[in-house]
A and B are shown apart, each in its own frame.
Chain A
Amino acid sequence: TAGITQAPTSQILAAGRSMTLRCTQDMRHNAMYWYRQDLGLGLRLIHYSNTAGTTGKGEVPDGYSVSRANTDDFPLTLASAVPSQTSVYFCASSEGGHILNEQFFGPGTRLTVL
Chain B
Amino acid sequence: EDQVTQSPEALRLQEGESSSLNCSYTVSGLRGLFWYRQDPGKGPEFLFTLYSAGEEKEKERLKATLTKKESFLHITAPKPEDSATYLCAVQAASNTGKLIFGQGTTLQVKP
Q: What is A's interface to B at a CB cutoff of 8 Å? A: 4, 31, 33, 35, 40-45, 48, 50, 58, 90, 92, 94, 96-108
Contacts and interface: CB of A to CB of B under 8 A. Distances in A.
A3 to B, nearest CB: 9
Given A43-B44, A100-B32, A104-B46, 9 more contacts: A40-B103, A43-B89, A45-B99, A50-B96, A92-B43, A94-B97, A97-B98, A108-B41, A108-B42
Interface residues of B, number: 23
Nearest to B51: A100
A77 to B, nearest CB: 20
- Please name the 10 residue pairs, one residue from A and one from B, whose CB atoms are nearest each other, closest first: A97-B97, A105-B43, A43-B101, A42-B103, A102-B46, A100-B32, A42-B101, A105-B44, A100-B31, A107-B43
Contacts of B91: 100
Interface of B: 31-32, 34, 36, 41-46, 49, 51, 87, 89, 91, 96-99, 101-104
A76 B36 CA distance: 23
19 contacts: A31-B97, A41-B103, A42-B87, A42-B102, A44-B101, A45-B99, A48-B97, A48-B98, A90-B43, A90-B44, A94-B97, A99-B97, A100-B91, A103-B34, A103-B46, A104-B46, A105-B43, A105-B44, A108-B42
